[in-house]
Structure 1
Amino acid sequence: MLELYTDRLRLRTVVASDWNNFLYTHSNEQLNEFVRKPQAESEIRQKFERVLKSQEFTEGEWLLTIIEDVHTQAFVGFIGLQNTDIEMGQIQVGYMLHPDVHGQGFASEALQAIVDWACLAYKPHKFIAYCVEPNIASTKVLEKCGFVREGLLRENCKIGDQWFDDCIYGLLAAQRC
């Protein structure tokens, strides 16, 4: 079981009792504004079951962790890594935090912790993040953690009926903060 600690947070492996928080974050319209239209509960359940079964960080797989307040054990959100390309040493990052904790620096703290851990555990060459252009909060998190905007994929992400441009951010493992 993975457990990482910062001054304020605990990042840990997802377990079956995390279902309600997983369902909430994947079905909440506000949280998914820049990600996807909320899916049906049955689809979310299938995704959750895959997360629970995912034991190996093989190419294409996500390693998802729960973010909790280290003092209260309150749910803060999720953060994950996707092993996108083993040969190129690339890992994608993604995160979603509960609206009650937005603006408190938890996303940056969790991202820095998981990047540092991944550098030690997997020795990647590069971290990559995708962020739809209007998602200013996520842009700020990435930049605070040393990610640099490397490009723009025009109309690359469709949420509902609307197309969005995707910003590509990168962080070379050798240059991490």
Structure 2
Amino acid sequence: MLELYTDRLRVRSVKDSDWHAFYALHSDPQINQYVRIPDPEEVIRQKFFQHSESWFYGSGNWCSLVIETLDTNQFIGLTGFYCQSVAEQRAEVGYMLAKSAHGKGYATESLQALIDWACLSFNVHKFVGHCAKENHGSARVLQKCGFQLEGILREQVNIGGHWFDECAYGLLAAERYR
């Protein structure tokens, strides 16, 4: 079981007892407004089991980790990444937090820990992150972690019949440690 620690958080592997919080996060239309229309429960359950299975870099699957507070062990969200290309040493990052955890720096803090771990463990050269142009909170998280806007993909994502521009961000591992 993977566990990473920050000053305020524990970032750890998904376990069976996380199902209800995982489901609540993935089924909330407001939290998912820039991600997807929430899937039916059976699809979310399949995702949960996939995310709670053992993972290895280069599998093409997401390494999803639970973010919880150190003081109360409260589930506040998920962070993770997956290897886009082993040969090009590139990984994509993502995060999703409960509404009660927004605006407290938890996404930034957990993502920084994840990036540090991935650099040391897998020799990642570049991290990428994507968010809807309208998702200003997510863009701030990436920027605080050192990501730079590399481009805007116009009308890239369709969610419920609404087209969203998608911002593409990048972070070179060498930039993180300057």
TM-score where L is the length of structure 2: 0.97
Where does residue 150 of structure 1 map in the other structure? 150
Report the CA distance between 1:24 and its aligned residue.
Answer: 0.5
Tell me which amino acid in the other structure corresponds to 1:67: I
Q: How far 1:51 moved relative to its partner?
A: 1.1
3-state SS of 1:45 partner: helix
Q: CA deviation at 1:58?
A: 2.1
The secondary structure found in structure 1 opposite 2:107 is helix
- Report which stretch shifted further, 166-175 or 48-57: 48-57
Code of the residue aligned with 1:143 in structure 2: it is: Q
Which SS does the other structure have where 1:153 is aligned?
Answer: strand
Deviations 1:103-162 (A, max 9, x none): 111111011110011100001110000011000001111101100000111111111111
Unaligned runs of 5+ in 1: none
Range that drifts further, 63-72 or 155-164:
155-164
Matches of 1:61 and 1:40 in 2, distance apart?
20
1:52 aligned onto 2:52: yes
| 1:81-92 matched pairs, under 5 angstroms | 81-92=81-92
Question: How far apart are 1:59 and its partner, in Å?
Answer: 4.1
1:3 aligned residue: 3
How far apart, CA to CA, are the structure 2 residues paired with 1:18 and 1:59? 23
Please give the residue correspondences for 1:159-174 in structure 2 after superposition, counting only pairs within 5 Å: 159-174=159-174
SS across alignment from 1:31: coil
Where has structure 1 moved over 4 Å in runs of 4 or more?
A: none
Q: Which amino acid aligns with 1:116?
A: D
Task: Report % sequence identity.
Answer: 49
Residue equivalent to 2:66:
66
**Count of matched residue pairs:** 177
Q: Could you tell me which residue of structure 1 aligns to residue 16 of structure 2?
A: 16
Distance (Å, rounded) in 2 between the aligned partners of 1:9 and 1:47: 24
Which secondary structure does the structure 2 equivalent of 1:124 belong to? coil
Which residue in 1 is equivalent to 2:96? 96
Which runs of structure 2 are paired with 1:36-47 in the superposition (5 Å)? 36-47=36-47
Structure 1 stretch 53-62 or stretch 63-72: which is displaced more? 53-62
Bigger drift between 151-160 and 2-11 goes to: 151-160
